[in-house]
Amino acid sequence: MIVYFHGFGSSPNSAKVDLLRETGEIVVAPRIPLDPNEAVLHLVSFVRKAIKDAMDAGDRKVVFVGTSLGGYWAALMSELFDATCVLVNPSFSPKESLMKYVDGYTDYTTGENKKLPVGIVEKYINIDPKSDMKNRHFFLATKDPVVVPVKVPHYHPNVFCVETDDHQGTSFFPMVVQYTKNLLESATCSVD
């Protein structure tokens, strides 16, 4: 099973989810609330249920995949559930990355102009990208103009740098999909 975590201003209804489904694996993708306090409660419940349902169906393998702010959530959930995750240009410093949207942004899925409340941005905490390196696999655009650059050892075997400014990872997402499919052969996850 693949659990996909969408980025800021996006939704679970995306071309990336469709590409992941082409692997033949079960793919689930939660809608992620902007407020991190709401999001963590929702995601823990969602992931726990998704894993239980998969295990009940005989699927004992799971990989979390996240893009941008979704990479933040995929990393946190992988720590909580001791699961493998694939992170595409993850936002590990969301306070800094999101602050630019308090004056306004365009929602990718609806095209609406919205504002992100400062109070929500200030609730986010930064996470150390080097913790839990055994479960984390990174795809990083070397010229990403959106998120604060992730400080991970680029020589690490789980870090793949792509020479591009494609923050959303659309141009190299087929590589992410194939890599995720390969990881499923060794990934395990259990829920207490």
Q: What CATH superfamily is the domain 2-183? A: Alpha/Beta hydrolase fold, catalytic domain (3.40.50.1820)
pLDDT of residue 188: 60
- pTM for this prediction: 0.91
Q: How far is CA 60 from CA 66, 123, 137, in A?
A: 20, 34, 20
Which pLDDT score, from 0 to 100, does residue 108 have?
Answer: 77
- pLDDT above 50 for 192: no
Both tokens of 23, joined, read 């692997």
**Residue 190 above 80 pLDDT?**
no
Distance of CA 24 to the CA centre of its chain: 20
Task: Return the pLDDT at 106.
Answer: 84
Instruction: Write down the domain spans for the chain.
Output: 2-183
User: d(Cα 165, Cα 181) in Å, to the nearest integer?
Assistant: 25
Which among 60, 62, 87 is positioned nearest to 75, based on CA atoms?
Answer: 87
pLDDT of residue 89: 94
**With contact defined as beta carbons under 8 Å apart, do 89 and 141 qualify?**
yes
Quote the CA–CA distance of 133 and 177 in Å, as a whole number: 20
* Alpha helix positions (H), 26-102: 36-56, 69-81, 94-99
The answer, yes or no, to whether residue 58 has pLDDT greater than 70, is yes
